């Protein structure tokens, strides 16, 4: 390929065999890391989005892309999960219509922008961007990314919504590590403004800039961070939640007392134990294990109480009980029997 940006005289240089090997490698590195204009992703032309995982995060991500006019293919291995996701999105849109934030036409257009699939290969055939939002399990994510890399077009950007797992590790199972990036949305996705954009070791400037711009088009505020365990959000948040559990486990104070101190004393809108229930105690445990394994520091060891609660199936709001007990249709905050 002839590069017009280089002088024609370069073709007359006498170069040795070693230089003939090195020059293409150097140019490839420059193109990937310092010349994003040569790999010209334009967010205005990236219209086909695939979201993998129809759970809380996946349906929220599909919702926000669809509302902004993107064509969204939502993928899950379970048709029931897909049906529940569409029901959730519809319910959330209905709430927005009732509050006069959108019109009935906006709602109809948003739902019309979403298609559901159980076959990733079919869903990803024309994808510009794939956002993986499966369970926070490293082996599952590695498997999914290997599949994504196999079925997606060569220029497709592969993003993960992981909240703690190494982007570099995920990218290593693909043949396109320069196009793999973290796109960590916050829960609930339609409401929360932040998107943590995480560069892996090989993620290109072009891909990073594209994802930053696309996040802004979604009405979000993207923050670029580097690839270390927990990134920024969960490296700070999860140890705080874990310490609240240790405080409870050691008998310093009860559930309600700990949450009250943090709400009234630190102006947190939600106490750390209530927030853990909202996130999911299984997710909290997974993230603490990533931090503990990644840094090798005992300060990140998961609280034994957290481990026991997850083993007992007490996962918080999603299971109906964690530190608090939850009843469908009720917004009352009721202490779980185990902590009374």
* Domain residue extents for the chain: 8-34, 43-226, 234-339
CATH 3.40.50.970 correct for 43-226: no
Strand partners, 335: 324
pLDDT at 78: 97
What integer is the mean pLDDT of 148-176?
97
Is the pLDDT confidence value at 41 over 80?
no
Catalytic residues: 163, 184, 196, 234
pLDDT tens for residues 200-242?
999 999 999 999 999 999 999 999 999 999 999 999 999 999 9
- Range 29-38 contact pairs with CB under 8 angstroms and sequence separation of 24 or more: 32/178, 32/202, 32/204, 32/205, 32/206, 33/204, 33/205, 34/205, 36/204, 36/205, 36/206, 36/209, 38/206
What integer is the mean pLDDT of 170-182?
98
pLDDT at 238: 98
Q: What fold, for 234-339?
A: 1.10.1040
Separation of alpha carbons 51 and 120, rounded Å: 10
Residue 50 pLDDT level (bands cut at 50, 70, 90): very high
pLDDT tens for residues 266-280?
999 999 999 999 999
Structure tokens of 170?
């995920």
pLDDT at 329: 86
* % of the chain exceeding 90 in pLDDT: 86
pLDDT tens for residues 302-332?
999 999 999 999 999 999 999 999 998 898 9
């Amino acid at each position: 390929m002839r590069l017009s940006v280089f002088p024609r005289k370069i073709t007359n240089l006498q170069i040795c065999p070693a230089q003939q090997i090195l020059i293409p490698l150097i140019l490839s590195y420059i193109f990937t890391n310092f010349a994003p204009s040569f790999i010209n992703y334009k967010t205005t032309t990236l219209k086909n989005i695939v979201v993998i995982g129809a759970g809380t995060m996946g349906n929220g991500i599909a919702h926000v892309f669809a509302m902004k006019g993107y064509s969204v293919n939502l993928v899950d291995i379970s048709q029931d999960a897909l049906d529940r996701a569409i029901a959730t999105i519809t319910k959330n849109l209905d709430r927005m219509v009732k509050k006069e934030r959108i019109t009935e036409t906006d709602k109809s257009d948003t739902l019309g922008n979403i298609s559901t699939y159980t076959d990733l290969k079919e869903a990803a055939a024309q994808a510009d961007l794939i956002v993986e939002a499966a369970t926070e399990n490293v082996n599952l994510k590695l498997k999914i990314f290997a599949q994504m890399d196999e079925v997606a077009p060569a220029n497709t950007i592969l993003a993960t919504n992981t909240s703690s797992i190494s982007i570099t590790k995920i990218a290593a199972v693909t043949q396109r590590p320069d196009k793999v990036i973290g796109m960590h949305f916050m829960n609930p996705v339609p409401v929360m403004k932040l998107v943590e954009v995480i560069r892996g070791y090989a993620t290109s400037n072009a891909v990073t800039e594209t994802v930053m711009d696309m996040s802004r088009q979604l009405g979000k505020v993207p923050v670029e961070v580097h690839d270390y365990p927990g990134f920024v959000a969960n490296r700070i948040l999860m140890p705080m939640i874990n310490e609240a559990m240790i405080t409870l486990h050691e008998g310093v104070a009860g559930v309600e007392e700990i949450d009250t101190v943090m709400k009234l004393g630190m102006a947190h809108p939600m106490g750390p134990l209530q927030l853990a229930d909202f996130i999911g105690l299984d997710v909290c445990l997974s993230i603490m294990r990533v931090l503990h394994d990644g840094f090798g520091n005992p300060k990140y060891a998961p609280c034994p109480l957290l481990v026991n609660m997850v083993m007992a199936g007490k996962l918080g709001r999603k299971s109906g009980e964690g530190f608090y007990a939850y009843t469908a249709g009720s917004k009352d905050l009721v202490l779980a029997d185990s902590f009374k």
